[in-house]
Structure 1
Amino acid sequence: MLSDNAKVLLKKKFEGLTDKVSLITFTQEFECRFCKETRELVLDIAAASPLIEAKVLDFVKDAGEAKRLRVNKIPAIAITGKKDYGIRYYGVPAGFELPVLVDDIIDVSRGATTLPATVKARLAEIKKPVHIQVFVSPTCPYCPAAIRTSHQLAIENTNIRTDVVEISEFVYLAQKYSVMGTPKVVINEDTSFTGAQPPEFFIEQMLAALRTSFNPMYS
């Protein structure tokens, strides 16, 4: 799926990896729309570094593993390192999203991000589970920033998990959450905003969601 030039650039980029990273991809025997592209992309990325392992699992046959990783639709990619940071991609991360996936892999390998110390200190206030969904489209120039921020927050605080959802592949979810523009961020089902916002704004919205949520799952 990746060009030869892109593969060369990836190998150079991944020279900075420090620990192993697993790209756990869920598809199924009768592949869904974009399952093939997602699987091929993951295999190409894994081939760029000996520290990246690609695991291709069947969503039906490996239902137990899907449940453990909280994967509930396909195609899906879970990025894990020394631990599971709750980073998930639903849909093929193409277009503007591919560079973000690469940066995610590097961060997970290092187990740390470049977020400022002030942001990390504020993140410590998040002491209950937070589920962030970032709804994106491949041609959206602002989506990568929202994805990147949400994933950095998840890496720095284990109470946070983040799903990136391609609206063109999961139209029913775009309708459910009234996605009129991207990126749209939904936090714990009942707090949302649109646009690429700074980490501080994400944190304020997460704290607001924790204060207002009546869902026992997040209490």
Structure 2
Amino acid sequence: MLDATLKTQLQSYLERLVQPIQLVASLDDGDKSRELESLLQDIASLSDKIEYLRTDEDLRKPSFAIVRKGTDIDVRFAGIPLGHEFTSLVLALLQVGGHPPKLEEDVQNQIRDLEGDFRFETFMSLSCQSCPDTIQALNVMSVINPNIKHVAIDGALFQDEVQAREIMSVPTIFLNGQPFDAGRMTVEQIIAKLDTGAAARSAAQIREKAPFDMLVVGGGPAGAASAIYAARKGIRTGVVAERFGGQVLDTMAIENFISVSYTEGPKLAVALEQHVRDYEVDIMNLQRATKLVPASEPGGLVGVELENGATLLARSVILSTGARWRQMNVPGEEQYRNKGVAYCPHCDGPLYKGKRVAVIGGGNSGVEAAIDLAGIVAHVTLVEFDSKLRADEVLQRKLRSLPNVEIIVSGQTTEVLGDGSKVTGIVVKDRNSGASRTVGLEGVFVQIGLLPNTEWLKGTLELSKHGEIVIDDRGATSVPGVFAAGDATTVPYKQIVIAMGAGSTAALSAFDHLIRTSAPMEQAVAA
């Protein structure tokens, strides 16, 4: 099952096992069960601390548990965790085997202090780049607290269960048989939802923080670059973000990041956060900014109010709040979000195997999505508002060569239809004739660009007609002491490498502002 190179790499990881573990399989006579058994036997052969057993006790087949021998600590997978989930498998082997997880001690204590029995089930797909974070978070929680149990389920292998539970997107999480949440979740996010007092404690801690020399709002590529450049100046630097990594976390393949031939968004996001943590930067994650309060006098403190009620103060602020997927804003879209309306074809595509779907948008993202989906689903209808597709010609040629794709141009999606629980179709208006028609289908993938996360700034500083933060060539906004960078600004090209450069520029400009307008800062070094 595993090639020689992968076996060698995995064997080196398994040398870190501290305690003996068992791989307990539940299999049937199918091909997938034979594949899983081969994988588990290969893994067991790589370490004398691993034992393979077959019990067939679990109703889901193929599935297996990684059990710390002689304890009730285990992690479970229903399916074959390869693809994006291979890392989840390796981490589960190590953590169940006693290798310490990379979590702050206070976070581990929060997990240990959770009271009650928690039975988590996460439905995922092996092509989903958002799923591993959620899987790994729940797995490590189940290792730290034996009252927490978790099984990761490959929805493509357990279609009957997917349909019975009406799962239309991944990752989808159930707790004790009831829907818990959907989408990427970190350990901190899961704890916050289980521990209702966590938000109040976090707000109290934030209120006690002294003013920052530079506060970065947003944790994407622009925010990370800003924080690193600020910290290297030796000044007190903070980062407040809803989720570190931002839009990069939802990016599948990255092939235009100079000097790196290929990487994936989640991997880059981890690297960004680790680089920032190499410096003395105060990272405040899971925090949403709701209001910017300009300084009352030149050189004064700028305030950033948070959703939890706390306020952070800083001598300078860099706004790098990024962007999110643009929605169609038509009837039915929000009602059927994650019930047939999706925004990530790589994540959710496998759930629509053999079904009919639509892709809204004829740019590169939309056409690439339609091409990928055409290899999985029964039929794809691509709807483009313009009179022609806007994707690169090579992509258009590939799309037009596919027999199960229909292309509609000059088409406006005016409504998403459903039966109350899932999508059943869309209404498309011909912009030339005005006639409308209903397209019957089970899934809608929206790929119509990005929307800047700047609503909270309206009325505070200058925004463009598209809602972008207006900046000059130094990253300065219309408010003194406030700078901005990345996809939330008027920078003409929304690219990772450009956001990083803009974040660096904004930090250097903010530092220049500080040394010209503020009293000397004890920590500051020469520019």
Report SS of the residue matched to 1:122.
helix
Whether the aligned pair in 1 keeps the contact of 2:16 and 2:99 (CA below 8 Å) is: no
Sort the Cα spacing of 1:168 and 1:179 in 2 relative to 1 into closer, same or farther, 3 A: same
Sort the Cα spacing of 1:207 and 1:191 in 2 relative to 1 into closer, same or farther, 3 A: farther
How far 1:84 sits from its partner (Å)? 2.7
What residue in structure 2 maps to residue 200 of structure 1? 188
Which structure features the higher share of helix residues?
1
How far 1:176 sits from its partner (Å)? 2.7
What residue in structure 2 maps to residue 94 of structure 1? 82
What residue in structure 1 maps to residue 174 of structure 2? 186
Whether the aligned pair in 2 keeps the contact of 1:81 and 1:111 (CA below 8 Å) is: no
What residue in structure 2 maps to residue 9 of structure 1? 9
How far 1:205 sits from its partner (Å)? 3.0
Match of 1:109 among 72, 84, 97: 97
What residue in structure 2 maps to residue 177 of structure 1? 165
Instruction: Write out per-residue CA displacement over residues 14-59 of structure 1, whole angstroms, 9 at most, x where no aligned residue.
Output: 111112111111113xx135101110110111111111111123x2
What residue in structure 2 maps to residue 26 of structure 1? 26
Q: Distance in 1 between matches of 2:73 and 2:165?
A: 24
Q: Distance in 1 between matches of 2:178 and 2:26?
A: 28
Q: Distance in 1 between matches of 2:194 and 2:153?
A: 19
Instruction: Write out per-residue CA displacement over residues 178-199 of structure 1, whole angstroms, 9 at most, x where no aligned residue.
Output: 2211111111222321222121
User: When the two structures are superposed, what TM-score results if normalisation uses the length of structure 1?
Assistant: 0.83
Whether the aligned pair in 2 keeps the contact of 1:143 and 1:182 (CA below 8 Å) is: yes
Whether the aligned pair in 2 keeps the contact of 1:77 and 1:89 (CA below 8 Å) is: yes
**Same amino acid, percent of matched pairs:** 24
Letter in 2 for 1:81: R
Q: How many residues align?
A: 195
Structure of higher CA gyration radius: 2
User: When the two structures are superposed, what TM-score results if normalisation uses the length of structure 2?
Assistant: 0.36
What residue in structure 1 maps to residue 137 of structure 2? 149
Letter in 2 for 1:144: P
Q: Distance in 2 between matches of 1:206 and 1:169?
A: 29
Sort the Cα spacing of 1:111 and 1:177 in 2 relative to 1 into closer, same or farther, 3 A: farther
| Structural RMSD (CA) | 1.7
Whether the aligned pair in 1 keeps the contact of 2:170 and 2:182 (CA below 8 Å) is: yes
How far 1:111 sits from its partner (Å)? 6.3
Whether the aligned pair in 2 keeps the contact of 1:21 and 1:81 (CA below 8 Å) is: yes
Report SS of the residue matched to 1:78.
strand
Sort the Cα spacing of 1:150 and 1:109 in 2 relative to 1 into closer, same or farther, 3 A: same
Instruction: Write out per-residue CA displacement over residues 86-105 of structure 1, whole angstroms, 9 at most, x where no aligned residue.
Output: 41111111211112111111
Structure 1: 5+ residue runs without aligned partners? 60-65, 209-219
How far 1:173 sits from its partner (Å)? 1.6
Match of 1:50 among 30, 48, 51: 48
Sort the Cα spacing of 1:9 and 1:86 in 2 relative to 1 into closer, same or farther, 3 A: closer
Q: Distance in 1 between matches of 2:47 and 2:137?
A: 25
Structure 2: 5+ residue runs without aligned partners? 197-527
How far 1:146 sits from its partner (Å)? 0.9
Sort the Cα spacing of 1:124 and 1:193 in 2 relative to 1 into closer, same or farther, 3 A: same
Whether the aligned pair in 2 keeps the contact of 1:113 and 1:155 (CA below 8 Å) is: no
> Whose RCO is larger (CA < 8 A, sep 6+)?
1
Whether the aligned pair in 2 keeps the contact of 1:136 and 1:166 (CA below 8 Å) is: yes
What residue in structure 2 maps to residue 164 of structure 1? 152
How far 1:206 sits from its partner (Å)? 3.4
Letter in 2 for 1:53: E
Q: Distance in 2 between matches of 1:207 and 1:173?
A: 29
What residue in structure 1 maps to residue 66 of structure 2? 79
What residue in structure 2 maps to residue 37 of structure 1? 35
Q: Distance in 2 between matches of 1:98 and 1:5?
A: 15
